[in-house]
Structure 1
């Protein structure tokens, strides 16, 4: 197969359960990929600004942030699509019917949470996002919103997606990142759309793309790319949509697959 672009999700895929990756091994693999003219792309729910900081040693790397709403590369700058203020208000109104949700509004640089939110939730957001601000009322936030990050009781995740899908039709799309967490993303603003946009810029077709993921928010990326690899730790429905399965995120499944199938 001829591959010109490799894209990978972060949490549960490229990163281990401590949010880390083998930096020395990756540096070697990245150099080998670039020698072969292969782009390496991060496709994540994280903000592009945060991804750029994490991978600051790789200035030519492309970042897909906000589950597809953001596209960034140092030389090209940031392109971002955000919810309208009206849509943001409508979504917050719909979410207000659920008492057991923890909600974060994700802008292009700052993530907004309530001052009285669960302390563990705030701590998790501060660990996940590099700039978190607290506020008295999410309705009062004027920062343009890229996506909503929601934590809920794990057992209610599927039901919440089921209920919110029709309630927010045409406004937002629920995308579960695993039991207990989901994002609300803009209609059509998913990782697959961002890959298509990036491919058009770089002259790379879907058949020349290889992607890695572990969650349902990776499925549009799986369906767009010609080659989709699920992590062994991914749910069954995600693995069923892949063309191949690699090891887990804990045992460097992404790098193992790249080394075996692209760099050997």
Structure 2
């Protein structure tokens, strides 16, 4: 069946370890994709408004932000599903029992951290997100929360995931972003769900989609599409859940796959 949509995770997948990609090569690929009527989608944990700035040279790209909670396009604007104030308060009460966790509240436009947060953590957040605000208390945050970004000691990650899952049941779902990092996302919210919403909007079936990912937060997306492609640098469990494996994020594995398997005559 003809491919009509390609979705790619960003960090560790589309981008190299310096947060860059081969811009000239992608510009040519993107032009060829659009000529064939193929949509290109970035699906990331980053905010959609931030993604829009990063890909400003490609304003008609579709963007999935907040690990599936946000959907954005230049013409369609931004739509976001956010935590209720009650749910946000409940999550913060659970997290208060874990002072070893560094917490950021990710809204649609601003990421909020406490003024008392570890400076190294704050620097990490400023390096990852465009708009970071320091607040005296999370009660001051007015931007609706899309997800929570948590940083912990790498060796504590698995144990914290194990403990937080039952404590946050039906409120939030902990998802590992790699050792030392996790997101708390809304129940049922993931990149696969966002692709389903976008597919319905664009009248594109999952069997007409290809998706690329390198992390466990990409699994639902890889499962939803007909062709789920894992990066060579992905963990073994991600590669085991994919239908194909391409090169690493360092050697433009996404672009190579598109050239060889989608655009090649």
Q: Which interval holds the TM-score relative to the shorter structure?
A: over 0.9
Map of 2:226 onto structure 1: 226
Map of 1:6 onto structure 2: 6
Map of 1:254 onto structure 2: 254
Runs in 1 of length 4+ with deviation above 3 angstroms? none
TM-score, normalized by length of structure 2? Answer: 0.98
Map of 1:69 onto structure 2: 69
Which runs of no fewer than 5 residues in structure 1 stay unpaired? Answer: none
Q: Once the 2 structures are TM-superposed, how far is the Cα of residue 143 of structure 1 from its aligned partner?
A: 2.1
Conserved in 2, the CA contact under 8 Å of 1:177 and 1:215? yes
Q: What CA distance in whole angstroms lies between the structure 1 residues aligned with 2:207 and 2:108?
A: 30
Q: Once the 2 structures are TM-superposed, how far is the Cα of residue 98 of structure 1 from its aligned partner?
A: 1.0
Map of 1:156 onto structure 2: 156
Conserved in 2, the CA contact under 8 Å of 1:92 and 1:139? no
Q: What CA distance in whole angstroms lies between the structure 1 residues aligned with 2:196 and 2:9?
A: 16
Map of 2:205 onto structure 1: 205
Map of 2:135 onto structure 1: 135
Q: What CA distance in whole angstroms lies between the structure 2 residues aligned with 1:190 and 1:152?
A: 22
Map of 2:240 onto structure 1: 240
Q: What CA distance in whole angstroms lies between the structure 2 residues aligned with 1:39 and 1:235?
A: 27
Q: Once the 2 structures are TM-superposed, how far is the Cα of residue 142 of structure 1 from its aligned partner?
A: 2.7
Conserved in 2, the CA contact under 8 Å of 1:64 and 1:191? yes
Q: Tell me if 1:191 matches 2:180.
A: no
Name the SS for the 1:11 alignment partner. helix
Q: Once the 2 structures are TM-superposed, how far is the Cα of residue 215 of structure 1 from its aligned partner?
A: 0.5
Q: What CA distance in whole angstroms lies between the structure 2 residues aligned with 1:58 and 1:141?
A: 32
Q: Tell me if 1:178 matches 2:151.
A: no
Conserved in 1, the CA contact under 8 Å of 2:69 and 2:190? yes
Aligned residues: 264
Conserved in 1, the CA contact under 8 Å of 2:109 and 2:143? no
1:111-162 deviation digits (Å, cap 9, x = unpaired):
0001121111111111111100001112432321000011111111111111
Conserved in 2, the CA contact under 8 Å of 1:211 and 1:225? yes
TM-score, normalized by length of structure 1? Answer: 0.98
Q: What CA distance in whole angstroms lies between the structure 2 residues aligned with 1:103 and 1:168?
A: 15
